Structure 1
Amino acid sequence: MPHDHSHAHHAGHAHSHGEGLGDRALLWAVVINLCLTAAQIIGGLAADSVALVADGVHNLSDALALVLAFGARKLAARSASPAMSFGWGRAEIIAAFVNYLALIAVSVWLMVEALGRLADPPQVAGGLVMALAGLALVVDLGTAWLTARLARESVNIRAAWLHNLADAGVSVAVLLGGALILAFGWRIADPILTIMISAVILWHIRGDIGPVLRMLMLGAPAQVDDSALREAIRAVPGVEDLHHLHLWQIDERRLSAEMHLVVAEGADPHETRLAVKSVLREHGIGHSTIETESPSSGCADEVGAHAHAHH
């Protein structure tokens, strides 16, 4: 039975494009974020600002998110092995999911903190806090810029990228809140802006986490129309019917299918299978396993199960 052996090499190859450049950008982003974390915590202690120390700890979560994204990217580039026959591509999906969960936790924590401050907004510490918030904004935007190209091609890096944009938003809130407080004495501006930004972050996650969860749950790829695919396969000459069709995503780039194909009497099973594989490729499915049956043989699974039960 002929088989397509290309998928074992594809996992590593998919990440090779611009990998050196992308990895260097990620490493720089991690270093810059760790430096910012240190500056915020030291500055927060000097200015006696709990909020700034908390923001520093939050920024440390960004650095860890980038480390996680970087590690998963390296892991995903590893070749397939007997123990990991599909390769390590799903490491990026798991890392993205962990990053989104962390971002949800941070956003909810920010909202709870802000709600607690609505009743009695604290006094804002002096210019040092605003200066470090400005520095944080520059670093967050710089990190987002460094990882923007990779974010377009990897759901994993996109999660870390969104993490940084969220931080940039928080820094804008601190700056804007500080300006409103200094100009008008509106101490309540800071918690209100924090709640609004947290809501925006959660709204963005709502749209992005769905496809990641779908891949983890072995859901059928959203871009493949199941009924249209079944019709296209049934229209192939020599195909009488199909069943046990399963579609899933190995990782972001690779779709997979398996099915039982009932080949009409007199048709060549090999030629029919090749024609069906061609239809699958037209629908973006590069990896497929097809078991052929004849109308008289019945389903191989049911025949095997019956024989096992009888035995």
Structure 2
Amino acid sequence: MSHSHHHQGHGHSHGLGGDAAIGWAVVVNLGLTAVQIIGGIAADSTALIADGIHNLSDAMALVLAFGARRLARRAATPDWSFGWGRVEVVAAFVNYLALIAVSVWLMAEAVGRLGEPPQVAGGLVMLLAGFALIVDLGTAALVWRLAKESVNIRAAFLHNLADAGVSVAVILGGALIWAFGWNLADPLLTLAISVVILWHVGTEIGPVFRTLMLAAPPGSDPAGVMTALKSVPGVRDAHHLHLWQIDEKRNAASVHLVVEGEDYFAITRRAKEMLAEQFQIDHATIEIEPPEACADMREHEH
């Protein structure tokens, strides 16, 4: 009975200017990664290498975000009736899983150095971390506007902000090593960086996972939706309610309504208007059942 079949408009603004911004951000982060890893090996600093690998994950996140952004522009087809907007959610989830793997590896490396911290070139560490801080802030500025529109781009944007904070910590560690010879600061900072990354992932991955698992949108009220549906004039009962997100911008619902009267179209229209106005559910599939059909079905279930 539902006729809301407008799947092609995602509410995303995918412009060529945005693609250029992401492209430059990728190039800059790959260059920074090479400088930091080479410098970290030269300075024998796991904290600097950790920051460099985190930047590499950011560059890969941006590459993935760029590809997902382009795929999301594809129009819906009979085989892909919801279009490709959901691919950005998948890309964000993959990015977060990669960050978890990187963080665990860095923690293992740092623990191995706690017993015998190596001599670290603190001055070189400060120099390269300062350069990284400038690049991280510049990259975040490039994708800041796009981050408002997409969970996919926002994941990459937040990575860069986290990197900026990490770079500040590495500068501090380099200063402690340079001024006081406290080489233990390097593995301790590496552990701290890993914890920050994991905390960041933990705060962001939940809504992405919920979307992939077709859970109700964060902050939604299934019980309230059911109560509101039962209060629609002409509706006697409601059951089999499902709420989920098609992608970051589109909420959806399917439900069975038991109705009295013959004007099924008017009842369906009222229910859809209510869902859109009160719960921001613009895609609703509603199955209408007369009271006797519902009673027969429940007898079969028992």
- Whether these two folds match at TM > 0.5 is yes
After superposition, give the CA deviation of every residue in 1:234-254 in whole Å (9 maximum; x if it has no partner). 111100111111111000000
Match of 1:240 in 2: 236
List gaps (5 residues or longer) in structure 2. Answer: none
* Amino acid corresponding to residue 272 of structure 2 in structure 1: K
Partners of 1:254 and 1:182 in 2: how far apart?
53
After superposition, give the CA deviation of every residue in 1:108-145 in whole Å (9 maximum; x if it has no partner). 22222222222111111263343222212211121122
Look up the SS of the partner of 2:281 in the other structure: coil
Matched-pair contact (CA < 8 Å) for 1:255–1:284:
yes
Matched-pair contact (CA < 8 Å) for 1:16–1:77:
no
Deviation at 1:287, TM superposition (A): 0.5
For residues 151-230 of structure 1, the aligned pairs below 5 Å read 151-230=147-226
After superposition, give the CA deviation of every residue in 1:30-80 in whole Å (9 maximum; x if it has no partner). 0111222233344456x3646455654443222111000111111112111
Deviation at 1:280, TM superposition (A): 0.9
Q: 1:184 to 1:2 in 2, by over 3 A?
A: closer
After superposition, give the CA deviation of every residue in 1:76-127 in whole Å (9 maximum; x if it has no partner). 1211111110011110111000111111111222222222222111111263
Matched-pair contact (CA < 8 Å) for 2:8–2:82:
no
- The structure showing larger relative contact order (alpha-carbon pairs under 8 Å, at least 6 residues apart) is 2
Match of 1:15 in 2: 12
Q: How many residues align?
A: 299
* Amino acid corresponding to residue 188 of structure 2 in structure 1: I
Match of 1:296 in 2: 292
1:39 aligns with 2:35: yes
Deviation at 1:3, TM superposition (A): 1.4
After superposition, give the CA deviation of every residue in 1:145-202 in whole Å (9 maximum; x if it has no partner). 2122222221111211222233323322321111001111211112222222322222
Match of 1:121 in 2: 117
Matched-pair contact (CA < 8 Å) for 1:258–1:288:
yes
Deviation at 1:213, TM superposition (A): 0.4
Match of 1:4 in 2: 4
Tell me which moved more, 161-170 or 239-248: 161-170
Matched-pair contact (CA < 8 Å) for 1:93–1:251:
yes
Partners of 2:124 and 2:175 in 1: how far apart?
13
Partners of 1:60 and 1:76 in 2: how far apart?
24
Matched-pair contact (CA < 8 Å) for 2:45–2:121:
no
Q: 1:300 to 1:93 in 2, by over 3 A?
A: farther
Look up the SS of the partner of 2:292 in the other structure: coil
Match of 2:82 in 1: 86
Partners of 2:170 and 2:2 in 1: how far apart?
62
Look up the SS of the partner of 2:191 in the other structure: helix
Partners of 1:223 and 1:258 in 2: how far apart?
18
Look up the SS of the partner of 1:204 in the other structure: helix
Partners of 1:243 and 1:93 in 2: how far apart?
29
Q: 1:79 to 1:302 in 2, by over 3 A?
A: farther
Partners of 2:57 and 2:214 in 1: how far apart?
29
Q: 1:39 to 1:300 in 2, by over 3 A?
A: farther
Match of 2:136 in 1: 140
**What is the root-mean-square deviation in Å for CA atoms of aligned residues?**
2.3
Look up the SS of the partner of 1:10 in the other structure: coil
Q: 1:93 to 1:184 in 2, by over 3 A?
A: same
Among 54, 65, 69, the alignment partner of 1:69 is 65
Partners of 2:31 and 2:60 in 1: how far apart?
13
Identity across aligned pairs (percent)? 64
Matched-pair contact (CA < 8 Å) for 1:93–1:212:
yes
Partners of 1:98 and 1:260 in 2: how far apart?
35
Tell me which moved more, 272-281 or 21-30: 21-30
Look up the SS of the partner of 2:265 in the other structure: helix
* Amino acid corresponding to residue 273 of structure 1 in structure 2: T
List gaps (5 residues or longer) in structure 1. Answer: 307-311
TM-score by structure 1 length? 0.88
Among 268, 272, 290, the alignment partner of 2:267 is 272
Partners of 1:114 and 1:169 in 2: how far apart?
19
* Amino acid corresponding to residue 263 of structure 2 in structure 1: D
1:260 aligns with 2:253: no
* Amino acid corresponding to residue 206 of structure 1 in structure 2: G
Match of 1:309 in 2: none
Look up the SS of the partner of 1:78 in the other structure: coil
Partners of 2:295 and 2:201 in 1: how far apart?
43
